[in-house]
Structure 1
Amino acid sequence: MNDSVQSGFGVIALAAYRPDWTLFRRQLQSIRDQSHHDFSCLISADGGHDEITAFVEKTLKGDTRFKVIGFGERLGFYGNFERVLEHVPADANWVALSDQDDYWYPDKLETLLPYLKQYSLATGQARVVTETGTVLAESTNRQNVPPTHLLLDNQITGGLSVFRRDLLSTILPFPRLSNPSENHDHWIGLCAAVADGAYVVDNIVQDYVQHGGNVLGEPDRTFILGRSMDNLRNMGRRYEGGANSSALLRVMMNMKYGWSRCMVLELQERSPHLSPALQPLLEVVAPGKYWAKKLALLWSAVASKHVSLPSAATFAAGAVLTSLRRR
């Protein structure tokens, strides 16, 4: 891998929608002040293009590295990140994703980029804080896990990561599944994991701001039956058009297992040269087959604390339900 990947020009892809202006200003300034300064920052405004453009120009006072792109159609969080990645120029060596309301430490890019010489993606840790600065957790405690464990429970947060630009040929377009599990971070991380690897660095590289407006935040791994059933019914109404038993069944099938299967089949179609790396993943998502391997994988993933018990149970339930429906 050419050294230009770790030291040359790259693109920061930032998705913006109705930002908190104070947090947005601080995030823009933290990107501007990176010790690695050879980059362009593409800001995709999912609505409010003129307002966001004016704010960026006022905040950064003519820094030409920052460019706002906007469109008439609102796509939402998932589609907006896909859209900004579609505009990454061919001469970029690397790509970094950015949320609109975090705070990057000055050496974030300088810390992560050297790892791209060996890996397709590098990601760090973050301190989790409220919008007023109260520390909720000193670290996100992401872990390096095998691709099969990553498939079951995501360890990659896009806003903490950088990846090689050539990975976009596999990443785009994003796969589609009408389910809350549809997650660009997970998809990008898995694409990297089966290529040259996704590596988690222990360094704290930014503050990760949690507040009421977060689309995705730090996962809550606690299980409360009543709350889980309410969430399931709400997801049925939103994604499957109702809360009847058939709709809830489809939600449960897709929550972990369906999304995992969707990603693996997309990778198989797009990257046939990765067949050896994909074979263990294909066995995990094959409906009605390899049950001994599935159970062994789930056990090892939970025992190693790479995957939470609720996640493993949800995946297993989806696999069983899918197999029963296919009979």
Structure 2
Amino acid sequence: MNMSGVVLFTLSGYSVTVNYRILLFSFSLLCYCLILVVNVSLILTIILDHNLHEPMYVFLCNLCFNGLYGAAGFYPKFVFDLLSDVQVISYTACLLQVFVIYSYATGDFSILALMAYDRYVAICRPLEYHSVMSVRRTAALIAFTWVVPLMCQCMVVTLTSTLKLCGSRIDKLYCENWSIVKLACGSTRTNSIVGLIVIAFYCAHVLLIVCSYVQLVQSSLKSKEGRRKFTQTCVPHLLCLFNVTAALLFDTMYSRYGSAAIPQNLRNFMALHFLVMPPILNPIIYGLILTKIRNRMATLCMMAGQRLRLRLKA
């Protein structure tokens, strides 16, 4: 129990879903299954193929793990609430959901920034690539992409947990930090400042990616091989980056400055975008565009089909 005595939050975003909950439940369950299938398939493909044990594919594997982590923090509770008459969540579970969902979102930025750095070294400094992206440095960078987002969100959630609350109604389909902060009785200045610092920190990630791509474009234009590498490995990265940035920026700006006059259905759609689209599209984009992964997955599917036919004949 926190200082205000609030032990349960009501998620009021479900109020407009009464007439089509079964449809939403089916669609959400399908999305979750699709997220599991595409991400696990890509992870297993990279793990099982030694030719894919390179930094770029290891970072991609990390991106898929992060997608599964974020989906686990949202979908089980969401599909359960769609079939429930009352949509409530405990105070502790709400803070845990905030921690998981937003450490996933910020983790995506860290991983995409790391992938941009990897492409910069590969295209702009190809002779130094294996020395710069050594096994030890790759492991350290992956650890960084997990530790920093987790620490940031731990700090944010800890600050939120100290607030005295005067309400228990969250106008969303899931727990979101700023929605809890807005329920506070007293000053939330510290929470606002820390939140803006975290946002600025991850905006710096985007700036870093933009700077690396300026260098990448300049370098790739110098040779045919550079252009081929850029098209094959950087285009999917840019698509994933745009997808995640647009979705998260939309959610963050609306949470802080959005108008209550916006219809609840539209608010729900905006809030769900970064939880639904990136975990599905990221592995599909990379799986379709990266030749090594596409060929390997096609080979595995053919082998699985042959084994199935042999078993059916037997």
TM class, shorter-length: under 0.3
Q: TM-score when scaled to structure 1?
A: 0.23
Structure with larger RCO (C-alpha < 8 A, sep 6+): 2
Instruction: Name the structure with the higher helix share.
Output: 2
Q: TM-score when scaled to structure 2?
A: 0.24
Q: Which has the larger radius of gyration?
A: 2
